[in-house]
Amino acid sequence: MSQQALIISNVVAVVLLVFGLYFPRYRRKDMVVAILGINVGVLSVATVLANAEVSAGLGLGLFGVLSIIRLRSQELDQEEVAYYFSALALGLLGGVSVTPEWVTPALMLTILAALFIAGHPKLFANARSQVVTLDAAITDEAALKERLESLLGGNVHRMKVRRVDLVNDTTVVDVRFSISP
């Protein structure tokens, strides 16, 4: 596949990723810029590295360092991390020619399909995740579960106590629960 066709495939894929999947679901303008920026940057560097006498390991190491720095600079939800890394992968795929030629577009389509399906709002529509701070120090697990189900109006499937403060009478809990349809 020609370099121009790879770049066009990347542009189409990242536009679908950002404007067809990410933004309609999450509505974060700042992440649109970040996703597009990382994709274009990775595409550019991958294209240069693919045509240069440089080790692929050096390029991948560079991408890893850059992504770690970016991900540490602001907390992202796990879904947003998936979009971010998908933009990285699309850029790498768009910058490096492989054979057979159909592999690159097929992998790009696979990434988009995975995000479309796994991130679809109707998939696990009743599942919720919440960090709750209660105004009581509750150490009894059954009582804590009952209190959370009452407050959240759903069935608690998993809870992890992050902190119990007996002095200030608070409990912080990470809860996985489902609401009734």
Residues 34 and 114 occupy one common structural domain: yes
Residue 29 and residue 106 in one domain: yes
Give the β-pairing of 170-179 and 127-134. Answer: antiparallel
Judge whether 122 and 128 are in contact, CB under 8 Å.
no
Do residues 106 and 147 share a domain? no
At 33, the pLDDT band (50, 70, 90 cuts) reads confident
Chain centre distance of CA 108: 16
pLDDT at 63: 62
173/112 same-domain check: no
Task: Please check whether residues 138 and 64 belong to one and the same domain.
Answer: no
Q: Coil, strand or helix: which one is 153? A: coil
- Does pLDDT of 4 surpass 60? yes
pLDDT at 52: 63
Q: Which of 73, 94, 118 is the last residue of a domain?
A: 118
Claim to verify: residue 39 and residue 103 sit in the same structural domain: yes
35 and 92 both lie in a single domain: yes
What number is the average pLDDT over the span 5-12?
Answer: 90
The answer to whether residues 62 and 114 belong to one domain is yes
**Is 89 found in the same domain as 38?**
yes
Residues 45 and 82 in one domain: yes
**Which residue did the predictor score with more confidence, 67 or 122?**
122
- Helices 103-118 and 3-15 pack at an angle, to 10 degrees, of 10
- pTM for the full predicted model: 0.69
Question: Among the listed ranges 15-19, 83-87, 113-117, 171-175, which one has the minimum average pLDDT value?
Answer: 83-87
Q: Are residues 114 and 137 in the same domain?
A: no
Average pLDDT over residues 14-20: 94
Mean pLDDT throughout 83-108?
85
pLDDT at 69 over 60: no
In the prediction, which pLDDT does 74 show?
Answer: 62
- Both 133 and 168 in one domain: the answer is yes
Query: Residue range 3-26: average pLDDT?
Result: 91
Question: Residue 162's domain spans which residues?
Answer: 127-179
Total domains present in the chain: 2
CA dist., res. 164 & res. 141, Å (int): 12
pLDDT digits (tens, 9 = 90+) for 37-68: 888 888 887 777 776 665 556 666 666 656 66
